[in-house]
Amino acid sequence: MTTIHEPVTTTATPEELAVWPSSTTEPHPGGATVGGVSLAEVAGRYGTPVYVLDEGEVRRRCRAYRDAFPEAEVHYAAKAFLCRAMAHWVRDEGLGLDVCSAGELELAVAAGFPADRIVLHGNAKTPHDLKRALWYGVGRIVIDSPSEIARIAAAVGPDGHQKVMVRVVPGISAGGHDKIRTGTEDQKFGLSISDGYAQRAIARILDQPQLELTGLHCHLGSQITDVKPYLAAVRRMVGLMARLKEQHGLALPELDLGGGHGIAYRPGEPAMDLTRLARKVRAELTEACAAAGLTVPRLVIEPGRAVAGPAGVALYRVVSVKHTGGRTFVAVDGGMSDNPRPALYGVRYAPRLVGRRGSVDLAPVTVVGRHCEAGDVLAADARLPDDVRAGDLIALPVAGAYHLSMASGYNAVGRPPVVAVHAGRARLLVRRESLEDIHSRDVGL
């Protein structure tokens, strides 16, 4: 990833804060601030668990993508995290948006996001998803299944018009975990090149005059830190585009390479080098198109995690510390209901004690949640001061993506709020889900 950190005043080492928002400072041990706001003060004002989102970091990362890909169309992947403020920031920074449901779409439109800069994805779009997308006038719909072709054409009507893309499976394995690898043949997304499904779907789309095929789409997976899979995808996608021009006289103007750019969750972990990715992809696309006799299509990319993830910090209050079976368990007031990723993908974090000066001696601990599951572990191999105790505040960096968006109502504890910090000011973006909210959905016997 392109380095977009700014110099900060801190007592922590640069390595320790490498995965924190670039506005992070620690003027005295334990006194961490983000966006000019004390994390301890955020916890005191809004309670815990709470997500802290650095507006400046989000905006800087949006600009980093615009700078790295000035000729491309950059869409923020809303599934990583979306609220009305986030949609507003992304729009301000010149990015488009991709959504996966009518819910995400309507939230974005409610924030004033232009529908023509929104792309609708999804392997199982419901009739309601498509109806709302067409009603609002989204820029493109990415076709993921042959059955969607007739459904969209019928919904558009004989006198209507809708731009579409086709999600292609390029047969490339990439990603940080089996469950987030989506470029291979053995998963639910897209249409395969190798078995001809993609080509047949494209031919069917061309028979629908109200559908305008603007390009091909692929998404290889998530947490990819190597440039090579994207270069392989470019070659295979351009190869298909060349065959389509030969067979149908079709020169597609767009190529969407998806997102999935990896970020570091702990100091020292690899991350995608954004500048290198942009340079290599641009060169590969130009060379492949020249060899195939094609005009270079407009590139589209869809970062989500790489924009939101490093901008977020999750704050928890320690409830208990237990020494048992040769291990130390630090239990906090949140867990898998607000962050299921460790249980799903084995993600590892680097929590820090904030709010007070801790012992200089660190001890191995397992940070666990409050839920009734043995797998409710937030950080299995963390190192915290050996005097950590109940009431302490624990901060988990890189918590801006796939935390609240994947949060659940397990054990009816309520989902945490989201607080934005910027220029020394904190403001509530999403309020805490209350017991009254939970009870109001239960209509009784």
- pLDDT attached to residue 170: 84
What is the token pair recorded at 121?
Answer: 């994805």
Question: Contact at 8 Å (CB) between 330 and 349?
Answer: no
- pLDDT attached to residue 344: 87
DSSP 178: G
Judged against a pLDDT cut of 50, whether residue 336 lies above it is answered with: yes
Which has the closest alpha carbon to 189: 255, 143, 235? 143
Which run of H or E residues covers position 34?
strand 33-34
Question: Contact at 8 Å (CB) between 382 and 364?
Answer: yes
Query: Residue 323 phi/psi, 5° resolution?
Result: -110, 110
Please name the residue that has the structure tokens 């529908």. Answer: 115
Judged against a pLDDT cut of 90, whether residue 162 lies above it is answered with: yes
What is the token pair recorded at 65?
Answer: 């993508």
Question: Contact at 8 Å (CB) between 170 and 150?
Answer: no
Q: Summarize the confidence of residues 399-425 as an average pLDDT.
A: 96
Instruction: Give Cα 25 to chain centroid, integer Å.
Output: 25
| DSSP string across 367-404 | EE-SSS-TT-EEEEEEEEETT--TT-EEEEES-SSSSG
Judged against a pLDDT cut of 90, whether residue 418 lies above it is answered with: yes
Give percent above pLDDT 70 in the chain. Answer: 94
- pLDDT attached to residue 347: 87
Judged against a pLDDT cut of 90, whether residue 1 lies above it is answered with: no
Please name the residue that has the structure tokens 């890189």. Answer: 398
> What residues contact residue 165 under an 8 Å CB cut-off, 6+ apart?
119, 140, 141, 142, 143, 213, 214, 215, 216, 217, 254, 256
pLDDT tens by residue, 269-313: 999 999 999 999 999 999 999 999 999 999 999 999 999 999 999
Question: Contact at 8 Å (CB) between 338 and 317?
Answer: no
Q: Summarize the confidence of residues 401-423 as an average pLDDT.
A: 95
pLDDT tens by residue, 209-222: 999 999 999 998 88
- pLDDT attached to residue 186: 63
What is the token pair recorded at 164?
Answer: 């579409």
Please name the residue that has the structure tokens 């067979």. Answer: 247
Query: Residue 390 phi/psi, 5° resolution?
Result: -55, 140
Please name the residue that has the structure tokens 């709470």. Answer: 50
| DSSP string across 290-357 | HHHT-PPPEEEE--SHHHHGGGEEEEEEEEEEEEETTEEEEEES--TTT--HHHHH------EEESS-
Q: Is CATH 3.40.50.720 what the domain over 55-308 is classified as, yes or no?
A: no
Q: How far apart are CA 163 and CA 169, in angstroms?
A: 20
Sign of CA dihedral 228, 90, 423, 398: negative
Q: Summarize the confidence of residues 376-399 as an average pLDDT.
A: 96
pLDDT tens by residue, 339-357: 999 988 888 999 999 999 9
Q: Summarize the confidence of residues 55-61 as an average pLDDT.
A: 98
- pLDDT attached to residue 180: 43
- pLDDT attached to residue 187: 61
Which has the closest alpha carbon to 369: 344, 389, 340? 340
Terminal-residue alpha carbon distance, the chain: 53
- pLDDT attached to residue 325: 85
Judged against a pLDDT cut of 80, whether residue 176 lies above it is answered with: no
Q: Summarize the confidence of residues 186-209 as an average pLDDT.
A: 85
* Band of residue 11 on the pLDDT scale cut at 50, 70, 90: low
Q: How far apart are CA 216 and CA 298, in angstroms?
A: 11
Question: Contact at 8 Å (CB) between 417 and 46?
Answer: yes
What is the token pair recorded at 79?
Answer: 């599934």
- In CATH, the number for domain 33-53+309-440 is 2.40.37.10
What amino acid positions are annotated as catalytic residues?
372
Q: What is the mean pLDDT of the chain?
A: 92
How much is the pTM? 0.93
Residue-range domain boundaries for the chain: 33-53+309-440, 55-308
Judged against a pLDDT cut of 70, whether residue 6 lies above it is answered with: no
Query: Residue 242 phi/psi, 5° resolution?
Result: -65, -40
- Write the CA distances from 211 to 166, 206, 216, 248, integer angstroms: 12, 7, 14, 16
Q: How far apart are CA 170 and CA 179, in angstroms?
A: 17
Judged against a pLDDT cut of 50, whether residue 181 lies above it is answered with: no
Burial class of 103 by CB neighbour count within 10 A (0 to 12, 13 to 18, 19+):
middle
Q: Summarize the confidence of residues 157-162 as an average pLDDT.
A: 92
Q: Summarize the confidence of residues 177-181 as an average pLDDT.
A: 44
Q: How far apart are CA 78 and CA 108, in angstroms?
A: 9
pLDDT tens by residue, 226-250: 999 999 999 999 999 999 999 999 9
